Amino acid sequence: MVVFSAFLAMFTVFGVAYSFGEFFGPMADEFGTSRSETALFFAITTFAYFAIGPFTGRLADRIGPRPVMILGAASMVIGLLLTAEVSSIQLGYLTYGLGVGIGVACCFVPMVATVGGWFVEKRTLALGLAVAGIGAGTLVLVPIIERVIDAQGWRDAYRVLAITSGVLLLIAAVGAHRTPGSVAVPRPIREVIRGRRDFWVLYASSFFMSASLFTVFVFMADYIDVTGATGSAALLLGIIGMASIVGRLALGAFAGKVGIIALFRWSCLGLGLSFLIWLAAGTNYPLLIAFAVVLGVAYGGIIALSPAVLAQLFGTVGMGGVLGALYTANGLGGLIGPPVMGRIIDSSGHSAAQWTAVASGLIGTALLYRLKPQTG
C-alpha cells in the first residue's frame, strides 16, 4: 500500500514538473522571453521543491506523511490554476515556482523516506518500485500534455493538470501510512551529518549530476524545433521515463551483487556519457531515441539507488530530514543549470550546452570516488 501510494505521488508530481519542456516554446513565444529567462521558470520550481524538502521531510518524520501530502495536493492545485491566469512570466515564477515546488516537496522526500523506513531486506527493490512513478509520469503525462497544448493552448493545459493532480494526490494520500517505530523524535540533521565527509561528497556530486540531467527536460523540445529533427520531443521524454523505470528496477536488482555504491557510480557515469550520443545524433531521430534510452536507464538507477546509499551510510532514523538535506544539492543544480545552459545555447548553440552537460556529469561521477572505501 505504501509503495503504491509513493508510486502514484511520484507519477503525479513529476509528470507535472517534467512536462514543462512542452510549455517552454508556447510560453516563450507569448511572453517574448529568451531561453535563459524561460528556463528560469523551471529552475526556480526545481530549486523550490528540493530546498523545501528538508522541512517537509522533517515534518513528515514528526507528524507522518499523509497530512504533508494533502498539503502538497492543495499547493499543487492552487499553483497550477493561478499559473494559468498569469499575465507575465515573472508572476509565473511565483505561482508555479511556489505552488508546484511545495507540491513536489510535500510528496517526494516524505514518501521516499517513508518507503525506505518500511523495508529492510527488500529496501532497494521497494524504492525502485516507488520512484518508478517518476518515469511512468513522464511517459504518460508528457505526451498527453503535448496534445492538450496543441489543441487548447498552454493555459488550459495547466488547468487540466491542476484537476488531475489534485485527484491523484488525494488518492495517493490514503495509502501514505507512517513508518512503524517512527514516533520517536529523530536526531537533528546536523548531528547526523556532522563530521561526515561522505555527505558532502554526495552533496557536491548531486549538484553536478542534476545540472547535467535537467538540460534534457528543459531544452529537448527546443532542440527538436531548432534543428528540425523529424520526431516528437514528447516521445523522447516519454522514452526517458520508460527507460528510467527499467533502470530503477533492473539496476536495483543488481545492487546486492555488485554493491549499492559501486552501482550508483556506474549509473552516474552512464548519465554523463549518454550526452555524447546526443552530440553524435544531430537530427538522426533513431540515435536520439538511443540517447533517451541510455540516459533514462542511468537516471532511473540514480534515483532508485540514492536513498539506499543514504540509508546505508546514515541509517533510516530521521531519514526524511537527511534525505531532504541532500536533495537541496539537486535544487541548486536545477536552479543554476538550466538558466546557464539557456545562456550557453543563446550564445554558442546546443552543442556547447551538450558538452557542458558531459563535463558536469563526469565531474559528478569523479567525486563519488572520494567516498570512503569501506562504504562501497
Tens-digit pLDDT profile for residues 197-216: 788 889 999 999 999 998 89
CA distance 122 to 117: 11
| CATH number 1.20.1250.20 given to 2-177+188-375 | yes
Tens-digit pLDDT profile for residues 275-328: 999 999 988 999 999 999 999 999 888 887 887 788 777 776 666 667 778 888
Helices (H) and strands (E) in the chain, counts: 15, 0
Tens-digit pLDDT profile for residues 293-304: 999 999 888 887
Among 137, 149, 136, 152, residue whose Cα is nearest residue 17: 137
CA distance 305 to 207: 16
If DSSP states are collapsed to H, E and C, what string results for 143-194? HHHHHHHHHHCHHHHHHHHHHHHHHHHHHHHHCCCCCCCCCCCCCCHHHHHC
The answer to whether residues 165 and 103 touch, using CB atoms and an 8 Å cutoff, is yes
Q: Where are the domains of the chain?
A: 2-177+188-375
Q: What is the mean pLDDT of residues 7-16?
A: 93
The answer to whether residues 329 and 210 touch, using CB atoms and an 8 Å cutoff, is yes
The pTM score is: 0.74
CB count, 10 Å around CB of 227? 14
